[in-house]
């Protein structure tokens, strides 16, 4: 298990760890005539975690709301955030678009983000486990709206990889029954604290 104060460094990958299709990220912009054009078209950049049982790709982030699209400011900010090596699960005052591949039978650690997250199953079958013991099985196209709750993701297949796409949005500090419910990265995230 990883030490939260010294998480293991993720391993950069040139392709997914899984046998799932390599997705592309297309960013649009405007040409000098004001017409929509493709700014860039690139494969996802992946990083391996937890002994190659988990892989993350971060196709995009924003660092303010509303984001500033003028002069490609949002693109430059995204590139700076991703290359900094300090991006946690959540980007303070912004959003993170993250694709996650889970190895067959893999269960990530129980964790909580201080954020409002949309988690969509793209491939496979994933069980959402909450700290209350409640469990729900999600299939392709199902969406979980995680509202700063303690949770875990489990790939229910013993033979096939699963993939989810997440949009994580920073949120105000949440207080439940007089207790502040801050970020809890668990034991195997391998990510730095988000700092929100």
Split at pLDDT 50, 70, 90, the class of 6 is low
Superfamily of domain 11-180: Jelly Rolls (2.60.120.10)
Q: Which of 72-86, 149-163, 175-189 has the lowest mean pLDDT?
A: 175-189
Give pTM, 2 decimals: 0.92
Q: Which of 7-11, 16-20, 52-56, 125-129 has the lowest mean pLDDT?
A: 7-11
Residue of higher predicted confidence among 4 and 27 = 27
Asked if residue 1 has pLDDT above 50, the reply is no
CA distance 25 to 42: 5
Strand order in the sheet with 54-62: 11-13, 46-49, 54-62, 95-102, 162-170, 115-123, 143-147
Split at pLDDT 50, 70, 90, the class of 12 is confident
Domain residue limits, the chain: 11-180
- pLDDT at residue 2, as a whole number: 43
Q: Which of 92-101, 123-132, 167-176, 183-192 has the lowest mean pLDDT?
A: 183-192
């Amino acid at each position: 298990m990883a030490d939260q104060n010294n998480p293991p460094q993720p391993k950069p990958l040139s392709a997914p760890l899984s046998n799932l299709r390599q997705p592309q990220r297309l960013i649009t912009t405007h040409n000098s005539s004001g017409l929509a054009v493709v700014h860039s078209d690139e494969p996802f950049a992946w990083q391996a975690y937890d002994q190659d049982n988990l892989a993350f790709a971060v196709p995009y982030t924003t660092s303010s709301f509303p984001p500033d699209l003028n002069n490609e400011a949002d693109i430059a900010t995204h590139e700076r955030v991703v290359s900094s090596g300090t991006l946690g699960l959540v980007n303070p005052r912004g959003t993170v678009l993250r694709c996650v591949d889970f190895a067959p039978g893999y269960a990530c650690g129980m964790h909580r983000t201080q954020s409002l997250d949309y988690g969509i199953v793209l491939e496979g079958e994933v069980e959402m486990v909450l700290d209350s013991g409640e469990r729900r099985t999600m299939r392709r196209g199902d969406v979980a709206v995680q509202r700063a709750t303690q949770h875990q993701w489990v790939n229910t297949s013993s033979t096939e990889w699963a993939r989810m796409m997440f949009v994580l949005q920073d949120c105000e500090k949440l207080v439940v029954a007089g207790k502040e419910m801050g970020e809890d990265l668990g034991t195997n995230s391998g990510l730095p604290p988000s700092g929100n």
